[in-house]
Amino acid sequence: MSKTPWWRGAVIYQIYPRSYLDTDGDGVGDLPGIIERLDYIASLGVDAIWVSPFFKSPMADFGYDIADQRDVDPLFGNLADFDRLLAKAHALGLKVMIDQVFSHTSVEHAWFKESRESRDNPKADWYVWADAREDGTPPNNWLSIFGGVAWRWEPRRRQYYLHNFLSSQPDLDFHNPAVQQATLDYVKFWLDRGVDGFRLDSINFCFHDAQLRDNPPKPEDQRVGRGFSPDNPYAFQYHYYNNTRPENIGFLERLRALLDQYPGAVTLGEISSEDSLATTAEYTAPGRLHMGYSFELLVDDYSVEYIRSTVEKLEATMRDGWPCWAVSNHDVQRAVTRWGGHPANPQLARMLVALVCSLRGSVCIYQGEELGLGEADVPFEALQDPYGITFWPNFKGRDGCRTPMPWTDQALAGFTQGKPWLPIPAEHRALSVQAQEADGDSTLHAFRNFLRWRKAHPALVEGTIRFLGSTEPVLLFERQAGDETLLLAFNLSGDTVRHALPAGEWQALALPGPVAGALEAGELVLPGNAVYCARRS
């Protein structure tokens, strides 16, 4: 295992800075707050942290609309704070990954302010500009993920600019070599500062079709995937031309060449395309991204058949690349609620952590998963997410998974001395870090114990995976590395089930964390949300 790159099989802990810990009383988390909690994070047994955007931004999309990729927004601190965070994390043995948003900027970015002034300035062709059609309408039928037309009129140029997300997030034109170089330059800025890697937001959105061809319509029965319900017109199209263009491959190879100059530095691409698994395999081929992850396990579908077929499809196509899996993040409803409903079931929470950490690949764990937090119910009047405000009430947006971390059971949860930017529900305060630290049987202790146990088994960190025949609700697979072969069985239901033990000689292992299954008369007995593990003798 010593020759294995640090990121292969790593557990990466995602921090949403706004909601981690506020140290200056403004109700918003900050970099000094992360620094203050790094010892806690290291105690979890994770290998790295991924810090969501903390760059200068007007915060229209809470940091994913960047106004300066080389500086920290005063809301979060300053560059000296980031350097202190980096130094302390490294001293604790934690790698540090940061978000990068290549495809677009904020309208407040200096590049865009210059670009929009005229058609002949030095940055005139740094963004995707297009003339109106003869009747004044946008140049094609492309739609924004956040609802409505993906084009915004700019009177200073008398042209439209493209925005795949909010209208305040104009898309850069990666067909321009100067844009590519400027992007690589600020990646180098952070590499030189000492970061260990990058999570690349919407990495397949960098390039658009240069001919601006219309996207074809999608039949009604196929309007599914990544939260794009029929309520959102974005689901009405096949997005063949506004993202995932072949030219992106060449840029990814340029990016990888830069990363290769920094031993150990890693890229993790977020991919959402018409066939995200195929794109993930393509983007993680040799000489491209180190890892990729998509939204396949961040959806509502929760069944043995779906999980098995999703992982097997990626395994069949990803011959040389490396996957990364997540069941929760800052963009989707928390998994323990999405797949288990209300109230949050602690046994389900423990089983889900064990499941995602047992698949082949690396893992992203979202802050609060170690506590078993469920989705918060944020009332409309407290919503901050523009996505949720637009599509309320059928879709409540992303605020429910972004509420502040509960450090204590007090009214403000030990998060702030001011008014928190989002409300903190009472049920989260009951699951606070302070309360769970004091309870040896808590989800938090189960999380730590499981990650410690996982590291002792090479088959789980770097081994192969092979699914075995099973019926709902039992997911069954083997992990194998060297002379170690592990059998793992997961009960996805809340009821006790029995299942035949696969052929072979198996020695049961005591797996800490989730409810344990058992063997009775040659048959697996799995209580609700239980896990069984055995080693081939």
pLDDT the model gives residue 50: 98
270 is catalytic: yes
pLDDT the model gives residue 1: 43
Task: Divide the 537 residues of the chain into consecutive groups of 10 and give the mean pLDDT of each group.
Answer: 85 98 98 98 98 98 97 98 98 98 98 98 98 98 95 98 98 98 98 98 98 96 68 92 98 98 98 96 98 94 97 94 97 97 97 98 98 97 93 92 98 97 98 98 98 97 96 97 97 97 92 95 95 95
The contacts of residue 514 (CB under 8 Å, 6+ apart) are 347, 350, 351, 353, 354, 446, 450, 529, 530, 531
- Which residue in 22, 47, 201, 370 is the catalytic one? 201
Cβ atoms 363, 326 nearer than 8 A: yes
State the Cα–Cα distance between residues 247 and 265, nearest whole angstrom: 24
The contacts of residue 165 (CB under 8 Å, 6+ apart) are 61, 64, 104, 144, 145, 146, 202
- Which residue in 73, 99, 173, 270 is the catalytic one? 270
pTM over 0.95: yes
Q: Which two tokens stand for residue 146?
A: 């956040």
Q: Does the structural domain 464-536 have CATH classification 1.10.287.130?
A: no
201 is catalytic: yes
pLDDT the model gives residue 110: 98
What are the φ and ψ backbone dihedral angles of 513, each rounded to 5 degrees? 115, -90
What CATH architecture does domain 11-105+176-452 belong to?
A: Alpha-Beta Barrel (3.20)
Q: Where are the domains of the chain?
A: 11-105+176-452, 464-536
pLDDT the model gives residue 229: 60
